[in-house]
A and B are shown apart, each in its own frame.
Chain A
Amino acid sequence: MKSSLGEFEELVLLTVASQHDTAYGVSIKESLEKELGKTLNISAIHVTLKRMTDKGYVNPRFGGITQDRGGRRKKYYVITAFGKQMLDKQFEIRNSLYQKIPNISFN
Chain B
Amino acid sequence: MNHHPPRRAIQFLRWFCKEDFVEEIEGNLLEIYELRLDQKPKWSSIWFFWQVLLHFRPDFIKPNPIMDFFSSGLFKHHLLISYRSFLRNKRSFFINWIGLASGLTCVLLIYLWVADEWKYDRFHLQNDQLYRVLQNRTTSSGIKTRELTPILLAPALKEEVAGIEEAVAVSSPEESPRGVLKSEDKSIISQGIFASSAFFQLFNFPLINGTTEQVLQRKEGIVISRSLAENLFSSVSNVVGRTIEWNNQLFSVTGVFKDVTKYSSLQFEFVMTTARMVELDEYAGKWNGDYARTYIQLNKPDHTGKIEQTISPFLSNNEANRERSKLILQNYSDQYLYGQFEEGVQSGGRIAYVRLFTITALFILLIACFNFMNLSTAQAGLKMKEIGVKKTMGAQKKTLIGQFLIESLLMSFLSLILAIGLILIFVPYFNEITGKSVGLRDISLINVLAIIGIVGMTGLLAGSYPAFYLSRFQPKAVLSGDWSSATGGAWMRKGLVVLQFSLSVLFMVGVFVINGQLNYIQNKHLGFDRENVIQINRARYKGDYQTFLQEIKEVPGVLSVANMATPILAGGSGQSGYSWRGQEEDKKFLFKSPIISYNVIETLDMELLAGRAFSAEQGDDEQQVVINEAARQMMGLEDPIGMQIDYGDDTREIIGVVNDFHYGSIHLSVEPLIFRFYPRGSRAIVRLQAGKEKETLAALEEAYKEHHPPYPFNYRFLDEEYQRLHESETRVARLSTYFTGLAILISTLGILGLAMFMVEQKSKEIGVRKVLGASEWNIIQLMGSTFTGLIIFGVIIALPLSYWGAQRWLSQFAFHMDLQWWLFLLAALITIGIATLAIVIQIWKAVQLSPAACLRDE
Q: CB distance A46 to B21 under 8 Å?
A: yes
Contact of A26 among B21, B31, B51 (CB under 8 A): B31
Contact of B51 among A24, A41, A50, A69 (CB under 8 A): A41
Contact stretch, chosen from A70-78, A88-96, A97-105: A70-78
Query: Does A68 lie at the interface of the complex (its beta carbon under 8 Å from any beta carbon of B)?
Result: yes
Q: CB distance A50 to B21 under 8 Å?
A: yes
What residues on A are CB-neighbors of B26 within 8 Å? Answer: 72
Q: CB distance A47 to B28 under 8 Å?
A: no
What residues on A are CB-neighbors of B55 within 8 Å? Answer: 43, 46
Q: CB distance B29 to A42 under 8 Å?
A: yes
Q: CB distance B30 to A42 under 8 Å?
A: no
The smallest beta-carbon distance between B802 and chain A, in angstroms, is 62
Query: Does B60 lie at the interface of the complex (its beta carbon under 8 Å from any beta carbon of A)?
Result: yes
The smallest beta-carbon distance between B375 and chain A, in angstroms, is 45
What residues on A are CB-neighbors of B60 within 8 Å? Answer: 46-47, 50
Q: CB distance B32 to A29 under 8 Å?
A: yes
Q: Scan residues 45-93 of chain A and give those whose CB is less than 8 A from a CB of chain B.
A: 46-47, 50-51, 60, 62, 68-70, 72-75
What residues on A are CB-neighbors of B29 within 8 Å? Answer: 42
Query: Does B420 lie at the interface of the complex (its beta carbon under 8 Å from any beta carbon of A)?
Result: no
What residues on B are CB-neighbors of A24 within 8 Å? Answer: 24, 28
Q: CB distance A46 to B25 under 8 Å?
A: yes
Closest to A24 in B: B28
Instruction: Give CA–CA (A51, B27) in the complex, Å.
Output: 19
Closest to A28 in B: B28
Q: CB distance B51 to A75 under 8 Å?
A: no
Q: CB distance A42 to B32 under 8 Å?
A: yes
Q: CB distance B59 to A47 under 8 Å?
A: yes
Query: Does B8 lie at the interface of the complex (its beta carbon under 8 Å from any beta carbon of A)?
Result: no
The smallest beta-carbon distance between B90 and chain A, in angstroms, is 41
Instruction: Give CA–CA (A20, B31) in the complex, Å.
Output: 21
What residues on B are CB-neighbors of A25 within 8 Å? Answer: 24-25, 27-28
The smallest beta-carbon distance between A81 and chain B, in angstroms, is 23
Q: Scan residues 17-44 of chain B and give those whose CB is less than 8 A from a CB of chain A.
A: 21, 23-32
What residues on A are CB-neighbors of B51 within 8 Å? Answer: 41-43
Query: Does B441 lie at the interface of the complex (its beta carbon under 8 Å from any beta carbon of A)?
Result: no
Q: CB distance A26 to B23 under 8 Å?
A: no
The smallest beta-carbon distance between B277 and chain A, in angstroms, is 64
Q: CB distance A73 to B23 under 8 Å?
A: yes
Closest to B22 in A: A72
Grouping DSSP codes into helix (H, G, I), strand (E, B) and loop, the B interface class, with mixed when no group exceeds half, is helix
Closest to A69 in B: B27
Given A41-B51, A43-B51, check contact A69 B31 (CB 8 Å). yes
What residues on A are CB-neighbors of B59 within 8 Å? Answer: 46-47, 50-51
What residues on B are CB-neighbors of A51 within 8 Å? Answer: 59
The smallest beta-carbon distance between A77 and chain B, in angstroms, is 10
Q: CB distance A26 to B32 under 8 Å?
A: yes
Q: CB distance B57 to A72 under 8 Å?
A: no
Chain B 51-63, CB-CB to A under 8 Å as 1, else 0, gives 1001101011000
What residues on B are CB-neighbors of A70 within 8 Å? Answer: 27, 30
The smallest beta-carbon distance between A30 and chain B, in angstroms, is 9
Query: Which residue, of B28, B54, B59, has the highest number of chain A Cβ atoms within 10 A?
Result: B28
Q: CB distance A72 to B23 under 8 Å?
A: yes
What residues on A are CB-neighbors of B30 within 8 Å? Answer: 69-70, 72
Instruction: Give CA–CA (A81, B60) in the complex, Å.
Output: 26
Q: CB distance A68 to B31 under 8 Å?
A: yes
The smallest beta-carbon distance between B43 and chain A, in angstroms, is 15
Instruction: Give CA–CA (A48, B21) in the complex, Å.
Output: 13
Given A72-B26, A75-B23, A75-B24, check contact A47 B31 (CB 8 Å). no
Instruction: Give CA–CA (A24, B29) in the complex, Å.
Output: 12
Q: CB distance A47 to B57 under 8 Å?
A: yes
Instruction: Give CA–CA (A25, B27) in the complex, Å.
Output: 9
Closest to A45 in B: B28
Closest to A43 in B: B54
Chain B 273-316, CB-CB to A under 8 Å as 1, else 0, gives 00000000000000000000000000000000000000000000
What residues on B are CB-neighbors of A26 within 8 Å? Answer: 28, 31-32
The smallest beta-carbon distance between B285 and chain A, in angstroms, is 69
Q: CB distance A46 to B32 under 8 Å?
A: no
What residues on B are CB-neighbors of A42 within 8 Å? Answer: 28-29, 32, 51, 54
What residues on B are CB-neighbors of A74 within 8 Å? Answer: 24, 27
Closest to B1 in A: A70
A interface residue numbers (CB < 8 A to B): 24-26, 29, 41-43, 46-47, 50-51, 60, 62, 68-70, 72-75
The 4 closest A-B pairs by CB, nearest first: A72-B27, A43-B54, A25-B28, A75-B24
B interface residue numbers (CB < 8 A to A): 21, 23-32, 51, 54-55, 57, 59-60
Q: Can you list 16 A-B contacts (CB < 8 A)?
A: A26-B28, A29-B28, A41-B51, A42-B51, A43-B57, A46-B28, A50-B59, A50-B60, A69-B27, A69-B30, A69-B31, A70-B30, A72-B26, A73-B23, A75-B23, A75-B27
Query: Given known contacts A25-B25, A42-B51, what 13 new A-B pairs fall within 8 Å (CB)?
Result: A25-B24, A42-B28, A46-B21, A46-B25, A46-B60, A47-B57, A47-B59, A69-B27, A69-B31, A70-B27, A72-B23, A72-B26, A74-B24
